[in-house]
Amino acid sequence: QLQLQESGPGLVKPSETLSLTCSVSGGSITSRSHYWGWIRQPPGKGLEWVGGSYYSGPIYHNPSLKSRVTISVDTSKNQLSLKLTSVSAADTAVYFCARLGDTLTTPRVAFDIWGQGTMVTVSS
Amino acid sequence: QSALTQPASVSGSPGQSITISCTGTSSDVGDYDFVSWYRQHPGKAPKLLIYEVTNRPSGVSNRFSGSKSGNTASLTISGLQAEDEADYYCTSYTISSTYVIFGGGTTLTVL
């Protein structure tokens, strides 16, 4: 059974870089039918698409974050990573990783498997 | 890019039915049958309820159903139960460069 697990520091200082990892177990991140994405949720607010990547590209980003976001896939470690630069308090959120189907494989363009999420607080 | 539009809140009594709408544009909901719905309880990860407008994943109750008309998709929950009290989100494929777009979320209160 495929499982996702986010990990990373829970506290990041303003202006620094937030780095998170999503480890995939019970399956391969090199699936030809799925993207792997990051979604975040500020406290008390809704879900926000950060971005996602196929294991060999392309990569999609939320336009509002695009200049600060780097998403990459490490196939040797079966991991997805997220780097968000120049963070501020507005980046405080629970960060989820999730598997996202492509347009050809059911469930198409749906997040069918989620990690439990990891809380990241931006504060000095 | 604007999010899909959902009502902020809906409510219903146990046993009743409610419907949550999700309005987009011809760039997303209107032209593509790739609308999904999720339920999220406090402190938990979202769970997929409906995909491709009308389909339920294995294990999801048939009390949940989806539909679409024009640029608006809808989630209907019948036979409301206390456990349905949660936040609900829609997503859609979008032709824009982001690939997927989220709704703002709807809080369902079971009275």
In the sheet that holds B18-23, the strands lie side by side as B18-23, B72-77, B64-69
- B92 close to A (CB below 8 A): yes
In percent, the amount of chain B with pLDDT more than 90 equals 94
3-state secondary structure of A27: coil
- Residue B15, classified by CB atoms within 10 Å of its CB into exposed (0-12), middle (13-18) or buried (19+), is exposed
pLDDT band at A32 (very low <50, low <70, confident <90, very high): confident
Residue A66 has pLDDT above 80, yes or no: no
- pLDDT tens for B33-91 read 999 999 999 999 999 999 999 999 999 999 999 999 999 999 999 999 999 999 999 99
pLDDT band at A33 (very low <50, low <70, confident <90, very high): confident
Using a CB-CB cut-off of 8 Å, the residues of chain B touching A114 are: 45-47
Of B36, B50, B60, which to mutate for an interface test with A (greatest number of A Cβ within 10 Å)? B36
Q: Are B100 and A108 an interchain contact pair (Cβ–Cβ within 8 Å)?
A: no
- Res B1: pLDDT: 56
- A36 close to B (CB below 8 A): no
